[in-house]
Amino acid sequence: MKQTSLEDFVKIKGNRKFRIPIWLIAVFMIALVASASAALLQYFGQVVTTVEVKQAVLLDGKDISEMPIAESATVSGGEYFLTSHVLQSQTSVPVTLQFQTEVAPSPEGVTVKYFKSSGYTVTVTTQVKSELSPDGIPISVTVEDIGDWIQWTFDFFAYNTSVAEGNGKFAGCIIISLDGTTPTFQIHNNDGTCSAFPWGTWLYSPYDPTGGWHTSEADWNTPVSDIGWIEAEGDMLFANNPQGTLVVRILKTKLDTSFGWAVYASIAHFSTIPYSISVYPADFNWGSETFETAVILEEIVSPFVLNANETLPFYIRYEFNPLVAGEYEITTTVTVAD
């Protein structure tokens, strides 16, 4: 029996043969197979998921679309200043970050470092100046980091065992030394030192490196209420302040990563509580001031980890060499460290 060849199969009348290319036959076969398999589902279901993703870490509450954050300052060569910012993690995983600094036109003479709070807190007991108040009592002073501020809280009744009565007065004074040795300024609730202001007025009085203190002079005193970076609360009079508490706050950015502080306090005009003058440190004296050192900021070394949902206040400290002058543009970029 003669077998029918593919050529015979495609033979048409008139003895004319049309040769069908092999590739066409292959395509046909593939299509045939495909049409057979098309009866099987390629998938049972399909899910289209849309998610809006926000930036994991915000700087001062802003995302990249709101960058850069611009700030400016005018300083003299040899000076420094600090600015305060916040990194805020919105994410549930730790993020490794780093600070990158660019200084234009030249980084020479400009030092930029990044710091975070050290969590400084200390409570001290003042030393009674027995030569001035032999029967005096000490007070308690707590210094603590409360975010952007360093806060001093005077507790005049911490060591009092008498009933507080009479026309008592509380006088408190904080003395700051930015270099730790030379006074820079003091904040006091005028105990009559400066007659230009009512008693009890909270005043800021800078130190004159060449002339010492001018606390009694009106031109050397500025009401704290006129200064944005100092806050002071607490009335001098016991009648208005029966708790015997005075509070003073100073913005960290107006201090430094470390500085010296001292306090001078007096209690007077109580009928039962003895007149008391006390200081801290114990050897503090006007004219030969000594200071307690406070390290309130510690350097952030890049790269560093921002933990899940952590909020990290940080400070940029710009310091300029005494020989530096001109306009500088300093750019800090917070990037992801690989």
Partner 1 sequence: MNRTRKVRKLLLAGAIILAVSIVILAVAIIQYYSTIKTIIPVEQAVWVDGRPFNETIVETLSSTYGGCTVYSNHTLENRGDVDVTVLFEVVNITDGKGNPINPLSGIVEVSFLVNGQPVGFTNVPAHSTVNFQIAIHFHYAIAPDVYTIITQIKPNIPEPSEPKPPA
CA angle 124, 206, 325 (to 5 degrees): 115
* Closest CA relative to residue 171, chosen from 206, 136, 147, 196: 136
Write out the binding residues for partner 1, residues 234-273 only, by CB under 8 A.
Answer: none
> Counting contacts by CB under 8 A, is residue 61 touching partner 1?
no
336 binds partner 1, rule: CB under 8 A: yes
Report the nearest approach of partner 1 to the CB of residue 57 (Å): 7
Answer whether 90's CB lies under 8 Å from 264's CB: no
Q: Does 302 bind partner 1 (CB under 8 A)?
A: no
SS3 6: helix
Question: Binding to partner 1 by residue 36, rule CB under 8 A?
Answer: no
Q: By CB under 8 A, is residue 186 in contact with partner 1?
A: no
Among 14, 45, 61, 105, binds partner 1 (CB under 8 A): 45
Compute the distance between CA of residue 305 and CA of residue 308 in angstroms, rounded to an integer: 9
Round to whole Å and give the CA distance between 261 and 123. Answer: 13
- Taking the least distance from each CB to partner 1, the nearer of 23 and 43 is 43
Instruction: Kindly tell me which of 97 and 279 has the beta carbon lying closer to partner 1.
Output: 97
Three-state SS at 23: helix
CA distances to 138, 177, 180, 258, 283 from 254, rounded to whole Å, are 29, 12, 15, 11, 26
Q: How far are the Cα atoms of 75, 99, 156 from residue 305, in angstroms, in the given order? A: 32, 12, 42
Residue 267 CB, nearest distance to partner 1 (Å)?
A: 53
Contacts of 216 (CB under 8 A, 6+ apart): 193, 194, 195
- Report, in Å, the least distance between residue 67 CB and partner 1: 12
Name the β-bridge partners of 157. none
Q: Using CB under 8 A, which of 3, 49, 240, 288 touches partner 1? A: 49
Cβ 121 vs Cβ 141: under 8 Å: no
Please report whether residue 21 would count as binding partner 1 according to CB under 8 A: no
Nearest residue (CB) to partner 1, 241 versus 332:
332
As measured in angstroms, the least distance from the Cβ of 338 to partner 1 is 9
Window contacting partner 1 (CB under 8 A); options: 47-55, 162-170, 241-249, 280-288: 47-55
Nearest approach in angstroms of CB 34 to partner 1 is 14
Instruction: Extract the tokens encoding 96.
Output: 């490794």
Q: Does 226 bind partner 1 (CB under 8 A)?
A: no
87 binds partner 1 (CB under 8 A): no
The stretch among 45-53, 130-138, 245-253, 316-324 that binds partner 1 (CB under 8 A) is 45-53
**CB closer to partner 1, 9 vs 44:** 44
How far is CA 307 from its chain centroid?
A: 16
**Shortest separation between residue 335's beta carbon and partner 1, angstroms:** 8
Of 90-98, 195-203, 220-228, 322-330, the segment contacting partner 1 by CB under 8 A is: 90-98
Q: Quick one: DSSP state of residue 24?
A: H
Helix (H) or strand (E) holding 265: strand 258-270
Cβ count within 10 A of residue 302: 15
Q: How far apart (Å, rounded) are the C-alpha atoms in residues 127 and 279?
A: 5
The DSSP call for residue 118 is -
Kindly tell me which of 57 and 128 has the beta carbon lying closer to partner 1: 57
Binding-site member from 95, 171, 236, 300 for partner 1 (CB under 8 A): 95
Binding of partner 1 by 161 (CB under 8 A): no
Binding residue for partner 1, selected from 38, 47, 70, 323, defined by CB under 8 A: 47
Rule CB under 8 A: which residues touch partner 1? 40-57, 63-65, 89-93, 95, 308, 336
